[in-house]
Structure 1
Amino acid sequence: MAAMTRVTRWLALSVLPLLTIAGLTTLSPGRAPEVQVASSARCSQPPVFTLGYQRGQDYVIPRGNGFLFRSDAWIEAQLCRGGTLSVTAQGELAGTELPQLTMVLNNEVIAAPRFDRERTVQVKVPAAGRLLLGYFNDYYEADVRVATLRGFKLRGADCQGFTSITVPREAGGTWSAQTLYATLVRAVPMTVVPCGHGTLSVILVGRPGNGAYPEVTVSQGDRTLAHVRTSAQPQPLSVDVQAEPLTITVTNPYFKTIGDRNLLVSGLTFSPDGNR
């Protein structure tokens, strides 16, 4: 039986670079690396938390009076003075860790609590300034069948190549025109438009999910040109095609989430210190 393929959120789903935020991951209080991201210099009371950075679309989502962190992201606010921040949050265990909320004041980590069941923590914020609340220990694991296609070529009597190749987002995969490399996850076809009639050549490789490799069908109009059961070994495929669009589809998709660590911050209350 084929081994299970486990993938990260980056592979399963289709910056401030991680080089910048890596130092904020799984931290204890101490010096944090400087983060060069523009933010408003005006403070407010009560402070207003807004999106500071997210590594991908909808990685942090406003939810009620707080925020749902789905992957690496932070929110931030400008504080007029020091005080006490009350945070109500709950998390989901995945892998071996609970989600962690890293709190950074003016590039200094002041707290990094972890959450499972809903609870409220109070953190002393010693001074005014820029306060970041970040989630950086994301974990995502899934068992997924993935079909990889590379080295697309078309040899024809009148032309060479393709008018277009498209992998829709709904297919759960990717397409690189620079490397001629595609991945497919769901049973949504990619579309290949040859420049004319000729012979299409491509190399297929599979990654197993639930003990089985993906199966791929190549069709043009109402005709099935090829049906391939992929494996870990590259398999060359050549088919004669006409001058019309053809589709390539995974016919036995499999996708199961094994672990997904998220953090829901449901309440943020800041009590400033008295006038000095």
Structure 2
Amino acid sequence: MRSTPLFVMSIVGGAVALFLALLALAFFILRSPPPPRLAFEQSSCTPSAEWNPVFLSEPGALRRMADGWFVEGASALGTHVCQGGTLVVDMQPDGGPGAPALTVLLDGQQLGRYFAPTRRTVTIEVPHAGALQLAYLNDYYRADVRSVEIREVRTNVLGCQLLTPAKPLSDPQNVYVPQSDLLALFQPEPVAYQACGAGALSFRMMGHPGNGSFPIVEARQEGKTLAKFTASAEWRVFKVPVRAGLVTLQFINPYARETEDRNLVLNRVSWTPR
């Protein structure tokens, strides 16, 4: 299991990019990055071939084990060998679906690509000195995530029809995008809105199911539940009577479960120079 949260997001392109990302996230998270440019800068070689991370697609993608490495994200190890020799790698899959693949490169040129459907040992002849890399590039990850999106929170009270969250969100897994007035919730954080008078509070909401159930959002004021609303796959408008003061909307049934995660275990990596 990955050490990072299943559904942490980055806002990189404004409201449209976020909205599309949220739609995709509800069904699956697929990480299959294009082959990176594996740069390795080391002026001197090491006879013992000391391996170090040279590419990480995310924090924690590579973890050191007693005699090897646990690889749970697209990443690469690198060393600089002083001469040609023989590289032996004992590796095995962890999770799935499909077999993880180890790509071996010398000075950026591929020497071979080796799949590990079961535990196996591969032997690679390295023809000359240079920058040697072991890359895992066919990572795959999928999760079942329940989430909800809310926008256009309004009241029918003159002077404060358009409402925005009264304070910044505290949970980094929840996101509010002011440019599009889009609130995306993955965790049960109460989001407060300031109603300046008695009237009807309305908002548009849609959700993505997780474990077969849609999100439920609870409206509360002064410690009391005003109503509970169940989202659907389509945008719908919901209304609830409120008084003047703070009103909170809270996603009360979050759900996230990792369903598939392909990883690679490098049990042992040995180097024998000629």
- Structure 1 length as normaliser, TM-score? 0.74
Would the aligned equivalents of 2:47 and 2:81 in 1 still touch at CA under 8 Å?
yes
The amino acid that maps onto 2:191 is T
Shift of 1:167: 5.3
Structure 1: how far apart are the matches of 2:230 and 2:166?
27
Structure 2: how far apart are the matches of 1:161 and 1:254?
25
Counterpart check, 1:168 vs 2:171: yes
Structure 1: how far apart are the matches of 2:202 and 2:40?
48
Counterpart check, 1:112 vs 2:113: yes
The amino acid that maps onto 1:166 is L
1:56 counterpart residue number:
58
Shift of 1:221: 4.5
Distance change >3 Å, CA 82–CA 202, structure 1 → 2? farther
How is 1:213-228 mapped onto 2 (pairs within 5 angstroms)?
Answer: 213-228=214-229
2:140 counterpart residue number:
139
Shift of 1:168: 1.0
2:18 counterpart residue number:
none
Q: Which whole-Å deviations, capped at 9, do the CAs of 1:131-186 have from their partners, x for residues lacking one?
A: 221111111222222212234568873796444331514xx554444444333334
Shift of 1:98: 0.4
Structure 1: how far apart are the matches of 2:263 and 2:171?
27
Shift of 1:93: 5.0
Shift of 1:111: 1.4
2:89 counterpart residue number:
87
Distance change >3 Å, CA 174–CA 41, structure 1 → 2? farther
How is 1:25-104 mapped onto 2 (pairs within 5 angstroms)?
Answer: 35=37, 37=39, 39-92=41-94, 94-95=96-97, 97-104=98-105
Q: Alignment partner of 2:167: what SS?
A: strand
Between 144-153 and 132-141, report the one with greater CA deviation. 144-153
Q: Alignment partner of 2:105: what SS?
A: strand
Distance change >3 Å, CA 125–CA 8, structure 1 → 2? same
Shift of 1:91: 0.5
Would the aligned equivalents of 1:69 and 1:264 in 2 still touch at CA under 8 Å?
yes
Root-mean-square deviation (CA, aligned residues, Å) is 3.0
The amino acid that maps onto 1:168 is D
Distance change >3 Å, CA 161–CA 252, structure 1 → 2? closer
Would the aligned equivalents of 1:203 and 1:236 in 2 still touch at CA under 8 Å?
yes
The amino acid that maps onto 1:197 is C
Shift of 1:206: 1.0
Q: Which runs of 5+ in 1 are unaligned?
A: 11-17, 25-32
Shift of 1:224: 2.3
| Identity percentage of aligned residues | 25
Number of residue-to-residue matches in the alignment:
244
The amino acid that maps onto 1:57 is P
Distance change >3 Å, CA 165–CA 39, structure 1 → 2? same
Q: Alignment partner of 1:260: what SS?
A: strand
Distance change >3 Å, CA 85–CA 215, structure 1 → 2? same
The amino acid that maps onto 1:66 is G
Q: Which runs of 5+ in 2 are unaligned?
A: 1-25
